[in-house]
Structure 1
Amino acid sequence: MSDLHTGYKPDTVSVITAGNDIDGALQKRLQRAGFRIQQLLPAELDQLRPGSIVINASVCADDQGMPEALQVAKRLAETPCQHVIHLSSYQVFAGGEQRRYDEDEVADPQARSGRQWLACERALASLENLTILRFGWMVDSNQDALLGRVLRGFVAGEPLALDGLNSGNPATVLDMSRVTVAVAQQLASGASSGGVYHYGSSDSCTAIEFALEVVERAQSFHDEERFAQLSTLEDSEQRDRSVVLACGKLRDVFGIQQHSWRQGLTRQVELWLERLGAEKSA
């Protein structure tokens, strides 16, 4: 670990891991910032270093990991920490209104996954030293996430019908780590602005709009003509659950600016295509 004197108090960040790409992205960003890092599995909370800033990413695992994430939140609420940064989701809102949802909006999820995200937030609500960061839908390398499904369909030449109704402002894993670590840096430098904050891309999109952009990037890596078979779901198959997050509070309090989800997308597509190529040749 770096011996640089960063002036952070505390200078240790404990990350409760998600078991996916978020862990590595947070670790690299924290290392560059000069923090001492402790990575813990959800079952290792008894090893938490006293007085550290805790980043709780356990809820970002998957739906199957939600019960364990709720237990982590309940245990953290009873653990002495300098500060807890809890990663959460736009899914705490029911959505469906053509406006931006700010932090004062009443969370009222209708879907099961949204209720699980909100339960984790509420389990931590008694903490005074709590910052909740709600992010737009994630762009990552999870096989079931939209990016992976689009590129698998592109490579295999299989048709894919996607949502063209619901809008959101997605966030990449790298952008999520940038925002989270920037908040940790300011808290470790004396900021005392806990509370709930929203972050998502500076530009919103639907799933089909996102997919078309991904395919355009993917086509640049292929010499031969290759086309995606994308279509939009019929309106009868869906209802409007749009959730576009308002992110002004994070900018005003912490000075953190929004990025576009298009930034770095080409590199993500390239890495996914390499992964799919390795799977095919294995």
Structure 2
Amino acid sequence: MKLLVTGKEGQVARSLVERASRFPGVTVITAGRPEMDLADSAGINRIISTADIDIVISAAAYTAVDQAEDEPELAHTLNATGAHAIASAAAARDIPIIHLSTDYVFSGASEGRYTEDDATDPQCVYGRTKLAGELAVASANPRHIILRTAWVYSPFGKNFVKTMMRLAAERDEISVVSDQWGNPTSALDIADGIIHIAERIVSGGKNAPYGLFHLAGTGETNWSGFAEEIMHTSHVQGGRKAIIRPITTDDYPTKAKRPANSRLATEKLEAAYGWKAPQWQTSLGEVSRRILAG
């Protein structure tokens, strides 16, 4: 099974390259800039139309949440127009697409976990462009899997876990928002889930359960609770530890509005594909060890 992943340096793309070695017969091909640019529809079509692949994994995106408020056109071009070009090129060859989206498509006003059937209402440019990308992919390719995920971290690139561990080495106390709730999700787990889903799609063909699903770490917390667990895990593993001081969203204003609650229900994915992410604390332990090891 050959997977073409958009993006080379993203957390999910790098995790897929690594995790593929655990699955016999799975090959991951990455395509990113300069040869594949989300703003270049012709280039996207050229690569996908000629590649020897079974499934396209649409992982590349504009993810600078606050910066998107100043660059809405660019964010839309990459997250919506680019996603549509990828899905269309795959559809032209009757190739399925697995497209990654975000918890930011929800307003955060709900008190419970969000299901795939709940109404979307993104409150920031990033969320709106990712929702537009979902709709574009679904309309362009009937053989689509859209995976909403949340609070992604890994041993790669920039993310919350690496930031907290770095700050712990620089200061004794870190202020972290405590009134935003969600599901910390390891990109390594996302990669495992994607490969599992892809194998089912290849074996099931057109009878595979396509559609919209939530894929997120099992369990929930707020950002300060996440930070406290990072400190605990790092300290147990020999790293530095800082005191986490809970603050409110109002105490830490950002250009883009984040959802107060973006907890995702993942039962639909488990029922359809028989796969569930580990408890987020367990996955954090693996990632923390690797970051400390350098």
**Fold shared per TM-score above 0.5:** yes
Which structure 1 segments of 5+ residues have no match? 1-10, 276-282
Q: Is residue 100 of structure 1 aligned with residue 113 of structure 2?
A: yes
Q: Is residue 253 of structure 1 aligned with residue 272 of structure 2?
A: yes
Match of 1:3 in 2: none
Aligned counterpart for 1:86 among listed residues 81, 89, 99: 99
Aligned counterpart for 1:111 among listed residues 124, 133, 136: 124
Amino acid at match of 2:273: F
Amino acid at match of 1:75: A
Aligned counterpart for 2:80 among listed residues 47, 58, 70: 70
Match of 1:202 in 2: 218
Moved more, 253-262 or 266-275: 266-275
Amino acid at match of 1:16: T
Amino acid at match of 1:32: R
Match of 1:47 in 2: 47
**CA offsets, 1:81-114, max 9 Å, x none?**
4101001111111113220111111211011221
Q: Is residue 167 of structure 1 aligned with residue 181 of structure 2?
A: yes
Match of 1:12 in 2: 2
- Contact 1:172/1:261 (8 A) holds in 2: yes
Q: Is residue 23 of structure 1 aligned with residue 9 of structure 2?
A: no
- Distance, in Å, in 2 between the alignment partners of 1:166 and 1:129 is 34
Match of 1:124 in 2: 137
- Contact 1:198/1:247 (8 A) holds in 2: yes
Identity, % of aligned positions: 24
- Distance, in Å, in 2 between the alignment partners of 1:19 and 1:62 is 15
Aligned counterpart for 1:35 among listed residues 20, 26, 34: 26
- Contact 2:269/2:275 (8 A) holds in 1: yes
Match of 2:255 in 1: none
Consecutive aligned runs of 4 or more in structure 1 exceeding 6 Å deviation: none
- Secondary structure of 1:161's partner? strand
- Distance, in Å, in 1 between the alignment partners of 2:247 and 2:231 is 18
Amino acid at match of 1:249: K
Match of 1:137 in 2: 151
Shift of 1:74: 2.2
Match of 2:289 in 1: 270
- Secondary structure of 2:196's partner? helix
- TM-score between the two structures when normalised by the length of structure 2: 0.80
142 and 236 in structure 1: CA distance in 2 versus 1, 3 angstrom threshold: same
- Contact 1:91/1:109 (8 A) holds in 2: yes
Which structure 2 segments of 5+ residues have no match? 38-42, 68-73, 253-257
- Contact 1:18/1:60 (8 A) holds in 2: no
100 and 264 in structure 1: CA distance in 2 versus 1, 3 angstrom threshold: closer
- Contact 2:167/2:174 (8 A) holds in 1: yes
Shift of 1:61: 5.4
- Secondary structure of 2:183's partner? coil
Match of 1:237 in 2: 251
**CA offsets, 1:12-62, max 9 Å, x none?**
221112522322211233343312332211335222226631011012754
- Contact 1:13/1:52 (8 A) holds in 2: yes
After superposition, the CA RMSD in angstroms is 2.4
